[in-house]
Structure 1
Amino acid sequence: MIRLDAIAKQHGQQILFLEASATLQRGEKVGLVGPNGAGKSTLFRLITREEQPDEGQVSIDRGVTIGHFSQDVGEMAGRTAVAETMDGAGPVSQVAKELHDLELALADPERADELEALVERFGHVQARFDELGGYALEARAREILAGLGFSPEMMDGDVGALSGGWKMRVALARILLMRPDVMLLDEPSNHLDLESIIWLEEFLKAFQGAILMTSHDREFMNRVVSRIVEIDAGELTSYQGDYDFYERERAIAERHQQAQFDRQQAMLKKELAFIERFKARASHAAQVQSRVKKLDKIEKVEPPKTRKTTVFEFRPAPRSGDDVVKIAGVSKQYGSRKVHDGLDLLVRRGERWCVLGANGAGKSTLLKLVAGAVEPDAGAVAVGASVKMGYFAQHAMELLSPDQTVWDSLQEAFPRASVGSLRSLAGCFGFSGDEIEKRCRVLSGGEKARLVLAHLLYDPPNFLVLDEPTNHLDVGTKEMLVQALAGYQGTMLFVSHDRRFLAALSNRVLELGPEGARAWGGGYSEYVASTGREAPGLRAAAVAR
């Protein structure tokens, strides 16, 4: 369906693609991976013709429809979420508009002389609308929006009143409703909660068209795609399998290439030593000359392009008392909506509670109550003795000083720290080289999140309260964070939609639902095994993988 033949593309001094080739076949589901800035978004723009390759060709089969979901949503206002979703449904939405215009024309007395022609046209358009499934369009739009977490009130409210994250969901719903031949999805799970991610997973697995997508959620990628295309150093390399398979195969290929490189280097060293030793002896002139010619003809093996991840040794957290936080009879209400009603919870030292619940169940509110960011309407939240709390929430990123650089920010926070340890910390969270001189105002959401986490974990508290700490983080940074927190000796209370993060770090589960809170002994993996579902509110089913 889509072919990239020997494409080259350069942005300024940066070479993104160099004689790169790949194909996307009908019905294939492909994950696109590569380091930040490798050219993933550029590849999408080449396919949608927003950009042209400097060399080579992007070929798309005649009649193939493409739906592109990107993080750049644009303005949305003045219509309901349902209407905005239906407007992006491709040909059927255009037919729906004409049908609506014809209905207005038929009701207009000033156009009575056109009545016969209007009625005839209305009949043709109505038949076409029915053929395209137009009368089921609104029901399908509502089903998709519900799957992405929208309540009926949100569906029928002005889309302009929604936050950026919810507008992203509307933009995603438009593409899903469109049902194109090819979906280009740039981080489709970024702004979704766990329930919506799992719903989207099932939708995409059942989708009959082709998919090319990026995602920082490795489990999501594993469930949806059956092939990985990697962008690295201008090349496109295909791996026939899911993300885990790609990682294993890439590691094997790196080891093989390293071994080849080492063998060649040893051989070169030996040959060069012989040449150096005997080059002045006439008796060995022929042998020396022969070896020089041999070395000139050898095709040099390049060392593997390894991606180094820094593992930072975090300091041990100070010991707290046995009871870290006690929540007794807590109630919290926003307007007429009761979020918590008589909630009880005791968090003890060393426990790692993950909080699960459907959208609106009060997960973030619970963390805010524990952190003291909001007060309960009734009941009490008591933090135990010797507890030093660290709280990560999305709003924490707004507290970074926009004029400070990354380096200034870390030095101000830790004035007594050595330059070496701060550079190691910065590198661990993805700020290496000149990136530490970036000002906070130009950082992306993911970069801001990484910087705030670096602040939080350099001198770790003994109680971490984390609200979606993995939002916007790439797979490598998530892995580093999981490794760092796996060795953390303190207590944790956290919300996350990343299933690897949940499974790797939790040893207790608090499920928030309409009937109240329920505590589960054991971590997220035990919860899934016990309930047969990966999130509250979902039907019990055989869980994949």
Structure 2
Amino acid sequence: MSGQAVLGVEKARFLYGANRVFDSVSLQLDAARTALVGENGAGKSTLLKCLLGELELDEGQIIKSRGLKIGYVPQDVPPGLGDKTVREVLESALPHTDGGEDWKVDVLLDEIGVSYETAQQTFGSLSGGWQRLMLIAAAAKLAQPDLLILDEPTNHLDLSNINTLEGWLADDDRLPMLIVSHDREFLERTTTRTIFLRSDGAHSFGVPFSRAREQLLHRDAADAVRRQLEGKEIERLEKVAARYRVWGVKNDAFHKRAKATEKRIDRIETERTESYVARERRLELHDGEIDAKVALRVQGHTVTIPDGSRKLFTIDRLNVAAGDRIAILGVNGAGKSMLLNALARAYDPDQEHYDGQAAVRFNPQARLVYFDQKMAELPLRTSLLDYLVAVDGATTKDANALLAKAGFPYHRIKGPIADLS
């Protein structure tokens, strides 16, 4: 397809049951590199699925150019790819399946620095970061779309691969894109237009994220001042109307003035400026109550791939003190997730198998909470409220208060965890 890509929605509304995900959303994508930004739960991924035809709007319409070819990389790796080889996954993105363009896969693998042996591995054996980079590479470099949609493209990517991705996007600035991301620096470097998705609709600015955010905040502040002034004017007119009503008991002229003033109040209230107020979110992390100074000791521990056939690295000595907050950095595939997984497996809260000579030793008073990349331990069919009560031992009242403090809407906390963004 030649020319500018055109995709958008007009007066879009989407409901999840009786609850509104977004409403009155209108936007149109053109040749620009567009960032779609919003709070968790604002409906960004839902809006993408509506644009792609995977979900249907409750109201409004999708606007799409005839013959538009869309490339899409979702947040999660699509099912069914794990048993295919890396090369097969990339080849499946080629527009033609007659084998005449297989050389493009070779060029791409060489560009990324993927060896022949790695290309023959199963896709599921790669780290989350490498899986993501491969899918983006397939969509951007091989599929030849008219419009590329990326949902959280930097998730699981190390700094080197983020730079690689930015280089790809910069190489061909003719490819229109819609990028959903919480990575502000990435959006600043890769997009030229920003759309904020909020409960009051979509707000578009023809500038990168930081300038767009300044303009949006400035507009919000001006709307708040205007609404406050309108409120004061309503209060003043209500007092005037009240006096006219008293005087109008014996004077029709004042009675008419009271009616006119009331109509003026109604008009101001009908046209009153809407002022957006963001939902407050506070998540507080407290240190556990450990008397000893050391919470974890690691000594002579070797981290391997899941089947144990290949060594990744060895930790000679590591002491984690109570109160430490540690970041683990490394290239994709280095074994960061494998290390955390090994620590989680070694944790024995009941001390049934405590070994004082073990390579990984937790303080007996330590309490471990572990969230893996895919949050595999979360019971997706359980409600958020029930999960918190069961795990933390909190009362329903305390759990409700904690979830409200963290910014979860009340109608969400009794639904299954799987329905959250």
TM-score (norm 1): 0.62
Asked if the contact 2:389/2:395 (under 8 Å) is kept, the reply is no
State which of 341, 353, 361 in structure 1 corresponds to 2:326.
353
The equivalent residue for 1:410 is 388
Q: CA, structure 1 residues 292+175, in 2 after alignment: closer, same or farther (shift >3 Å)?
A: same
Cα distance in 2 between the residues matched to 1:413 and 1:316: 18
Q: Deviations over 1:463-518 (max 9, x none)?
A: xxxxxxxxxxxxxxxxxxxxxxxxxxxxxxxxxxxxxxxxxxxxxxxxxxxxxxxx
> What count of residue pairs does the alignment treat as equivalent?
398
The equivalent residue for 2:81 is 76
The equivalent residue for 1:199 is 164
Cα distance in 2 between the residues matched to 1:48 and 1:315: 42
Cα distance in 2 between the residues matched to 1:224 and 1:318: 44
Q: Does 1:307 align with 2:278?
A: yes
TM-superposed CA distance for 1:286, in Å, is 4.5
TM-superposed CA distance for 1:356, in Å, is 1.3
For 1:425, what is the secondary structure of its paired residue? helix
Q: Does 1:318 align with 2:294?
A: no
State which of 179, 189, 212 in structure 1 corresponds to 2:154.
189
Asked if the contact 1:4/1:20 (under 8 Å) is kept, the reply is no
Q: CA, structure 1 residues 429+89, in 2 after alignment: closer, same or farther (shift >3 Å)?
A: farther
Q: CA, structure 1 residues 280+238, in 2 after alignment: closer, same or farther (shift >3 Å)?
A: same
Asked if the contact 2:70/2:147 (under 8 Å) is kept, the reply is yes
Give, as a single letter, the amino acid of the residue that structure 2 aligns with 1:407.
L
Counting only pairs closer than 5 Å after superposition, residues 48-197 of structure 1 correspond to structure 2 as 48=52, 55=60, 58-60=63-65, 65-70=69-74, 71=76, 73-76=78-81, 79-90=84-95, 93-94=96-97, 97=98, 100=99, 134=101, 136-143=103-110, 146=112, 152-159=116-123, 169-177=133-141, 178-197=143-162
Cα distance in 2 between the residues matched to 1:13 and 1:405: 17
TM-superposed CA distance for 1:31, in Å, is 0.8
Q: CA, structure 1 residues 268+45, in 2 after alignment: closer, same or farther (shift >3 Å)?
A: same
TM-superposed CA distance for 1:23, in Å, is 3.4
Q: Deviations over 1:15-52 (max 9, x none)?
A: 677665433332x2111123455453454455445667
Asked if the contact 1:356/1:363 (under 8 Å) is kept, the reply is yes
Q: Does 1:290 align with 2:254?
A: no
Cα distance in 1 between the residues matched to 2:330 and 2:125: 24
For 1:358, what is the secondary structure of its paired residue? coil
Cα distance in 2 between the residues matched to 1:229 and 1:259: 23
TM-superposed CA distance for 1:355, in Å, is 1.6
Q: CA, structure 1 residues 291+429, in 2 after alignment: closer, same or farther (shift >3 Å)?
A: closer
The equivalent residue for 1:254 is 220
TM-superposed CA distance for 1:238, in Å, is 0.6
Give, as a single letter, the amino acid of the residue that structure 2 aligns with 1:140.
V
Cα distance in 2 between the residues matched to 1:352 and 1:303: 42
TM-superposed CA distance for 1:316, in Å, is 5.5
Give, as a single letter, the amino acid of the residue that structure 1 aligns with 2:168.
F
Q: Deviations over 1:168-212 (max 9, x none)?
A: 554333202224332111222334344333322332233321111
Cα distance in 2 between the residues matched to 1:370 and 1:285: 79
TM-score (norm 2): 0.77
TM-superposed CA distance for 1:319, in Å, is 5.2
State which of 278, 290, 310 in structure 2 corresponds to 1:337.
310
Q: CA, structure 1 residues 221+432, in 2 after alignment: closer, same or farther (shift >3 Å)?
A: same
TM-superposed CA distance for 1:348, in Å, is 4.0
Q: CA, structure 1 residues 428+8, in 2 after alignment: closer, same or farther (shift >3 Å)?
A: same
Give, as a single letter, the amino acid of the residue that structure 2 aligns with 1:352.
R
Q: Deviations over 1:383-410 (max 9, x none)?
A: 56x8524342328944445664322222
Cα distance in 1 between the residues matched to 2:303 and 2:78: 34
Cα distance in 2 between the residues matched to 1:152 and 1:142: 8
Asked if the contact 2:25/2:201 (under 8 Å) is kept, the reply is yes
The equivalent residue for 1:271 is 237
Give, as a single letter, the amino acid of the residue that structure 2 aligns with 1:201.
E
Asked if the contact 2:301/2:314 (under 8 Å) is kept, the reply is yes
Cα distance in 2 between the residues matched to 1:340 and 1:157: 21
For 1:392, what is the secondary structure of its paired residue? coil
TM-superposed CA distance for 1:264, in Å, is 0.9
Q: Deviations over 1:152-174 (max 9, x none)?
A: 43321344776888665543332
Q: Deviations over 1:241-299 (max 9, x none)?
A: 33333433333322221211111111101211221233031353354233223224335
Cα distance in 2 between the residues matched to 1:227 and 1:418: 46
Q: CA, structure 1 residues 357+185, in 2 after alignment: closer, same or farther (shift >3 Å)?
A: same
Asked if the contact 2:383/2:416 (under 8 Å) is kept, the reply is yes
Give, as a single letter, the amino acid of the residue that structure 1 aligns with 2:368.
G
258-267 vs 386-395, greater mean Cα deviation:
386-395
Give, as a single letter, the amino acid of the residue that structure 1 aligns with 2:149.
L
Asked if the contact 2:157/2:332 (under 8 Å) is kept, the reply is no
State which of 24, 27, 50 in structure 1 corresponds to 2:29.
24
Q: Deviations over 1:294-337 (max 9, x none)?
A: 22433532442322123255556435444444444444455442
Gaps of 5+ in 2: 348-353
Q: CA, structure 1 residues 152+217, in 2 after alignment: closer, same or farther (shift >3 Å)?
A: farther
Identity of aligned pairs, percent? 24
Cα distance in 1 between the residues matched to 2:46 and 2:373: 30
Which structure carries more helix by proportion?
A: 1
Cα distance in 2 between the residues matched to 1:402 and 1:79: 27
State which of 409, 412, 415 in structure 2 corresponds to 1:432.
409
